[in-house]
Amino acid sequence: MAIFSRGFTGRPREAQPDLPPGQFLTEDFPVLSAGPTPTIAEADWSFTIKTELGATHSWSWDELQALPFEDVHTDIHCVTRWSKLATNWRGVSMDTLFADVESSYDYVMVHSTGGYTTNLPLEDILDGQAWITTEFDGEPLEPDHGGPARMIVPHLYFWKSAKWVRGITMQRSDAPGFWEQNGYHTYGNPWREERYS
C-alpha cells in the first residue's frame, strides 16, 4: 500500500503521455556516467566484434562512415527516472555490423573506453533494435553523451546504451557487466521497472 504524502500534489499532469512506470519527462539531456568523460579522436576510434572462435570484425571511423546510416527516432528512458520522447539519432544498425559474424553464443558484452562494460542478450541488439550512433539531433554526438560513437538500445534502460563504445565480445552466458555488477538489473526493461538487482 502506498503512503500518501501529506501536502504533495505534483506537477500538473493532464497531458502525460504513456511513460514507463516511475519515469518523468524531461526536455534536458541529463548525464549519467561513473567517471570522467573521455576525449576520443575519430582517428583513434575503432569498433571490433570478437567471437568465441577468435574471429574479429573491425571497423575504423572511416570504414564505419562508409556503411549505410539510418535515422532513428525513439524514446529513451534513464534508470535515474527521466525519459525523453522522440529523440533523433543517426547510426549504423547492429544488423549491418553482425551480417558476417558467426557465433553460437547467445549473449554479448559491450565494451567502452575507460573499461566500462554492459551485458545484453544478442537477440536484443538485432532486428532493428540497436545502433552504433554518431549523431544526436543532427549534430555530432557530444563526448559527455558518449561521442564520438555510442551504442543505443532504446527499448532497455539507457545505461545499456554504452557510451564511447569500442567493441562487443560474444559470451556464452549472461555474465554481468560493470553497471550490472554495481547494482543495476541484469536486463533492464523499463516497462517492468527492472532498475536494480
Partner 1 sequence: MSPRDWLVGTVVSATQQTPNAKSIVLDVPGWHGSTAGQHVDVRLTAPDGYTAVRAYSLASTGPGQQVELAVDLIDDGEVSPYLVEELRAGDQLEFRGPLGRWFVWKPEQTAPVQLIAGGSGVVPLLAMIRAHTAAGSSVPMRLLYSVRSPSDRFFADELVAASGVDLTLVYTREVPDGWPMAPGRVTKELIASTTTPATANPAVFVCGPTGFVEAVASALVDLGHDPVSIKTERFGGS
Interaction between residue 80 and ligand FAD (CB under 6 A): yes
Binding mask 94-133 for partner 1 (x = CB under 8 A): --------------------xx------------------
Interaction between residue 196 and partner 1 (CB under 8 A): yes
> Which residues contact residue 54 at a Cβ distance below 8 angstroms, ignoring those fewer than 6 apart?
none
Q: What is the size of the binding site for ligand FAD (CB under 6 A)?
A: 2
Q: Report the distance separating Cα 156 and Cα 123, nearest Å.
A: 13
Which of partner 1, ligand FAD, none interacts with 3 (beta carbon under 5 to 8 A by kind)?
partner 1
Which of partner 1, ligand FAD, none interacts with 35 (beta carbon under 5 to 8 A by kind)?
partner 1
Q: Report the distance separating Cα 125 and Cα 160, nearest Å.
A: 11
Residue 57: phi and psi, rounded to 5, are -125, 115
6: its cell numbers? 501529506
Interaction between residue 38 and partner 1 (CB under 8 A): yes
> Residue 114, exposed/middle/buried by CB under 10 A (0-12, 13-18, 19+)?
middle
Interaction between residue 8 and partner 1 (CB under 8 A): yes
Give the interface with ligand FAD as residue ranges (CB under 6 A).
28, 80
